[in-house]
Amino acid sequence: MNIVISGASSGIGFEVAKQLVALGHQVFAFARNENRLKDLQKECDGDGLFIYAFDITEFDHYPELISRISTKFSKVDVLINNAGALVNKPFEQLNLKDFGTSFSVNTKAPFYLSQQLLPLMGEGSHILNISSMGGYQGSSKFPGLSLYSASKGALSILSECMAEELGEKGIKVNCLALGAAQTEMLEKAFPGYQAPLSANEMAEFISDFAINGHRYFNGKILPISVSTP
């Protein structure tokens, strides 16, 4: 399969990209940190990985990103909207810059990237949006994560709407609401916290779901957590 994944320079995205290449898929992986992408390339055998340094919030430069992808793939089978931004700050201290960052990365970018890649997608394609248990209705909420949870919740509902509209093109859309996994982003936000799953363990589930999940699900928001929501 031809797979595009954002936020591939660290954490879960790094591991997902590596695992998918190991499974024999062609992967276009992008993120802001070019050096970390080169590290990813070093860990992948063969020629199945294409890396590109790109800031997902630079919306005016998306034509260049799409052009790069289209030179590698005539069709995109799977898009994994994985990039995320976590602002950990008490509600009364949040500002509009925090709001803009959270929603630009966690909601606006998946919306726009999915839309811009539609010409390369079609019957059998799968868009997988990576959300969070923080944005899952009825789940326990954590202090300091108001904007992260709200922006991921918006992505979850957007996924349902996308599935409804893109179904006529044969494109399926699903959303995974992830529980805590041990990543650099989590460690930075919550120093010392030990998550029940490693980034690699969470990536194993995501990798399998990305290539197989749309055989069984469409328009679903699935909680992926070992604890009670």
Q: Please report the sign of the dihedral spanned by the C-alpha atoms of residue 179, residue 181, residue 184, residue 189.
A: positive
On the CB side of 189, CA atoms within 13 Å amount to: 20
The two tokens of residue 179 are 């529980």
Strands (E), 107-196: 126-132, 172-178, 181-182
The two tokens of residue 157 are 């509902």
Backbone Cα Rg of the chain: 16
Tell me how far apart the alpha carbons of residues 148 and 176 are, in angstroms, rounded to a whole number.
15
From 62, 112, 148, 193, active-site residue: 148
Q: Under 8 Å CB-to-CB from 164, ≥6 apart: which residues?
A: 219
On whether the CB atoms of residues 132 and 116 are closer than 8 A, the answer is: no
193 is a catalytic site residue: no
Tell me how far apart the alpha carbons of residues 81 and 84 are, in angstroms, rounded to a whole number.
9
Q: Please report the sign of the dihedral spanned by the C-alpha atoms of residue 163, residue 12, residue 223, residue 103.
A: negative
β-partners of residue 175 are: 129, 221
* Among candidate residues 106, 121, 127, 107, the one with its CA nearest the CA of residue 210: 127
As annotated, the active-site residues are: 148
